[in-house]
Amino acid sequence: MSRRVVLALLLAAHVAYADESVTASAPPDASQQSIGAELGVATGGRVTAGGVRVAGHYLYQLSDQDWFDGVAAFTFGGGGAECFRNRMDNFVCDHGMLQGGSVEIAANVRRYFQGNDQFWPFARAGVGLSIVRFSSDSVTGLGVPLHLGGGVRASVSDGVAIVGEGELAVGFGVFNHSLGLEPQVGVAITVGAEFRL
Amino acid sequence: MRYVLIALALAACQNLDVSRSVGARCDMATDCNERCLTPSGAWPGGFCTVTCDTAASCPESSTCIDEQGGVCAFSCVGDGDCTFLGTGYTCKAVDSHGAGAKVMVCRGG
Which residue from A81, A84, A87 is facing B45, i.e. has the nearest CB? Answer: A87
* Residue type at position B88: G
Instruction: Give B100 to chain A, closest Cα distance, Å.
Output: 30
Instruction: Give A194 to chain B, closest Cα distance, Å.
Output: 33
Would you call A5 an interface residue with chain B, using a CB distance cutoff of 8 Å?
A: no
pTM of the model: 0.77
Question: Dihedral sign, CA of B50, B52, B54, B57?
Answer: negative
> At A4, is the pLDDT very low, low, confident or very high (cuts 50, 70, 90)?
low
Would you call A92 an interface residue with chain B, using a CB distance cutoff of 8 Å?
A: yes
> At B107, is the pLDDT very low, low, confident or very high (cuts 50, 70, 90)?
very high
Q: What is the pLDDT of residue B11?
A: 42
Which chain A residues have a beta carbon less than 8 Å from that of B86? Answer: 87-88
Q: What is the pLDDT of residue A191?
A: 98
Q: What is the pLDDT of residue A21?
A: 45
Would you call A181 an interface residue with chain B, using a CB distance cutoff of 8 Å?
A: no
Query: Which residues make Cβ contacts (< 8 Å) with residue B70, sequence separation at least 6?
Result: B51, B52, B53, B64, B97, B98
Instruction: Give B51 to chain A, closest Cα distance, Å.
Output: 18
Which is nearest to A184 in space by CA: A138, A136, A128?
A: A128
Could A92 and B16 be called an inter-chain contact, meaning their C-beta atoms sit closer than 8 Å? Answer: yes
Which residue from A84, A182, A183 is facing B19, i.e. has the nearest CB? Answer: A84
Per-residue pLDDT for A124 more than 80?
A: yes
Which chain A residues have a beta carbon less than 8 Å from that of B83? Answer: none
Query: Which residues make Cβ contacts (< 8 Å) with residue B10, sequence separation at least 6?
Result: none
* Average pLDDT value for chain A: 89
Could A45 and B12 be called an inter-chain contact, meaning their C-beta atoms sit closer than 8 Å? Answer: yes
Per-residue pLDDT for A10 more than 70?
A: no
Could A185 and B20 be called an inter-chain contact, meaning their C-beta atoms sit closer than 8 Å? Answer: no
Q: What is the pLDDT of residue B2?
A: 56
Does A191 or A20 have the greater pLDDT score?
A: A191
Q: Quick one: closest CA in A to B17, which residue?
A: A86
Q: Which fold, A27-196?
A: Porin (2.40.160)
Q: What is the pLDDT of residue A122?
A: 96
Could A86 and B17 be called an inter-chain contact, meaning their C-beta atoms sit closer than 8 Å? Answer: yes
Listed by start position, the domains of chain A span: 27-196
Q: What is the pLDDT of residue A159?
A: 87
**A196 to each of A34, A37, A59, A125, A144, how far by Cα in Å?**
4, 12, 9, 22, 30
